[in-house]
């Protein structure tokens, strides 16, 4: 005899494909009008419109334009949380598509697909509400790109929106892996991200008389190179550390003026908290020593932004079984974490979680996330919606056994 849960799962997979055209349209509308940070009124409006008619309990954020939707199953049971981030990046899009953004922002990290995929999951689950033994929290989150929107939504009560804490939380993140491949692993799945700022104070002067100055520009260059040597020569290659300098600010634009100061900013990414502690001790000494050798003063600030996302072992192994039952060999366990960071980590600190990467590369040479050339094949949206719905169904069923 085929179990009722198996029948439900088959219906979900069969129905998801039919939703894809509507989800693609939603994704492209969001893509054409990207918004930055914590306040995304147009995106919030599109989400609310897309969820209308599904008989959900809707909660709008107070300090950010989030949407929390609670779907009540037809039977009592535990709660599962599904999350999608909604914000874009301050990048001018270079991709030549009919729905290209023209406002100077861009969905270069695929958050537009995340929103559409979660809307699809909401529709699939709402259609089978009577068969669900429990509740689903649908978390539409602004401000993932450096603004900590997940933490703000936690502070506003998203984890308790259904009346009970989730027994599991899931997120699917698209990337430039081969289209339709699901990638995840138990344990640490993303790096932590720590903001780095270095301020060099020297003495400015005329470009023709550098000997009368304490020129911070060559010292800044020396520090940037030293940071790369530091990561390569001080850490085991199996304990990944990435330090990226992403901004150098010096001078006023006049080519005959040596500036008196330089500001260096970037990120430090690690997967081991002990490694980060070591960097917090070593890095200031290294930078201050180089500066002092040239008669300058350096101030170093390290501010941990997002901790690592740590996938729960049991929840993730069950999730991989669920996905393999529907998608077969397209589900792959990766051997190591990605060095990207994610504020889903704040959820993973309080709830057993699984974050999954879904390949959405439109070609073999697709540009990476956060590139102005980043493009995503939105034909994966049916699979994305089905995956989130299946994870919910199986988690609720397992908790009710």
- What distance in Å separates the CA atoms of residue 308 and residue 95, rounded to the nearest whole number? 31
Pure H helices in 128-247: 149-155, 216-234
DSSP code string of 248-271: EEE--S-TTEE-SEEEEEEEEEES
- Identify the pLDDT of residue 8: 81
Tens of pLDDT along 322-332?
999 999 999 99
pLDDT band of 3, cuts 50, 70, 90: low
Please tell me what DSSP assigns to residue 342.
-
Strand partners, 31: none
Burial class (CB in 10 A: 0-12, 13-18, 19+), 284: middle
- Identify the pLDDT of residue 1: 35
Domains in the chain, CATH or no CATH each: 4-188+308-400 (3.40.630.10), 192-306 (3.30.70.360)
Q: What does residue 174 show for φ and ψ, rounded to 5 degrees?
A: -80, 155
Side-chain-facing half-sphere of 30: CA atoms under 13 Å: 34
Tens of pLDDT along 176-226?
999 999 999 999 999 999 999 999 999 999 999 999 999 999 999 999 999
pLDDT band of 319, cuts 50, 70, 90: very high
Tens of pLDDT along 268-283?
999 999 999 999 999 9
pLDDT band of 114, cuts 50, 70, 90: very high
Tens of pLDDT along 131-158?
899 999 999 999 999 999 999 999 999 9
- Identify the pLDDT of residue 2: 43
- Identify the pLDDT of residue 106: 98
pLDDT at 262 over 60: yes
User: Average pLDDT for residues 38-47, to the nearest whole number?
Assistant: 98
pLDDT band of 14, cuts 50, 70, 90: confident
105 Rama sector, left if φ>0, alpha if ψ -120 to 50, beta otherwise: beta
Tens of pLDDT along 229-253?
999 999 988 889 999 999 999 998 8
pLDDT band of 4, cuts 50, 70, 90: low
pLDDT band of 400, cuts 50, 70, 90: low
First to last CA, the chain: 18
**Residue-level length of the chain:** 401
- Identify the pLDDT of residue 38: 98
pLDDT band of 29, cuts 50, 70, 90: very high
CA distances from 210 to 206, 257, 293, 334 (A): 7, 10, 17, 52
User: Bigger pLDDT: 236 or 93?
Assistant: 93
User: Average pLDDT for residues 339-353, to the nearest whole number?
Assistant: 96
For CA atoms 246, 251, 257, 259, the dihedral sign is: negative
Q: pTM for this structure?
A: 0.91
Mean pLDDT rounded to a whole number for the chain: 94
């Amino acid at each position: 005899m085929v179990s009722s849960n198996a029948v439900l799962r088959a219906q979900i997979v069969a129905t998801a494909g039919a939703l894809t055209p509507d989800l693609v349209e939603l994704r492209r509308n969001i893509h054409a009008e990207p918004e930055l940070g914590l306040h995304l009124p147009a995106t919030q409006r599109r989400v609310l419109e897309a969820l209308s008619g599904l008989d959900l309990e809707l909660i709008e954020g107070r300090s950010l334009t989030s949407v929390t939707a609670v779907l009540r199953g037809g039977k009592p049971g535990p709660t599962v949380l599904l999350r999608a981030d909604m914000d874009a990046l301050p990048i001018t899009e270079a991709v030549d598509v009919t729905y290209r953004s023209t406002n100077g922002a861009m969905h270069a990290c695929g958050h537009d697909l995340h929103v559409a995929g979660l809307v699809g999951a909401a529709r699939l689950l709402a259609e089978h509400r009577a068969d669900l033994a429990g509740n689903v929290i649908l978390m539409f989150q602004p401000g993932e790109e450096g603004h900590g929107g997940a933490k703000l939504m936690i502070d506003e009560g998203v984890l308790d929106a259904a009346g009970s804490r989730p027994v599991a939380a899931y997120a699917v993140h698209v990337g430039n892996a081969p289209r339709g491949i699901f990638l995840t692993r138990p344990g640490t799945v993303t790096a932590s991200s720590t903001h780095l700022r270095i301020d060099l104070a020297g003495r400015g002067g005329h470009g023709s008389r550098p000997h009368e100055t304490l020129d911070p520009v060559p010292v800044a260059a020396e520090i940037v190179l030293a940071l790369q040597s530091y990561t390569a020569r001080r850490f085991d290659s199996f304990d990944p550390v990435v330090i990226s300098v992403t901004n150098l600010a010096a001078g006023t634009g006049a080519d005959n003026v040596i500036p008196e100061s330089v500001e260096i900013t970037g990120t430090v990414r690690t997967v081991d908290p002990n490694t980060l502690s070591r960097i917090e001790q070593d890095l200031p000494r290294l930078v201050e020593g180089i500066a002092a050798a040239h008669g300058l003063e350096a101030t170093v600030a390290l501010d941990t932004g997002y901790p690592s996302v740590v996938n729960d072992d049991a929840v993730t192994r069950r999730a991989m079984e669920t996905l393999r039952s529907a998608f077969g060999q397209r589900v792959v366990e990766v051997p190591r974490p990605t060095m990207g960071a994610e504020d889903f980590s704040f959820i993973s600190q309080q709830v057993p979680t699984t974050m999954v990467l879904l390949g959405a590369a439109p070609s073999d040479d697709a540009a990476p996330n956060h590139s102005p050339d980043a493009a995503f094949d939105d034909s994966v949206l049916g699979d994305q919606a089905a995956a989130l719905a299946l994870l919910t169904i199986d988690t609720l069923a397992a908790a009710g056994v």
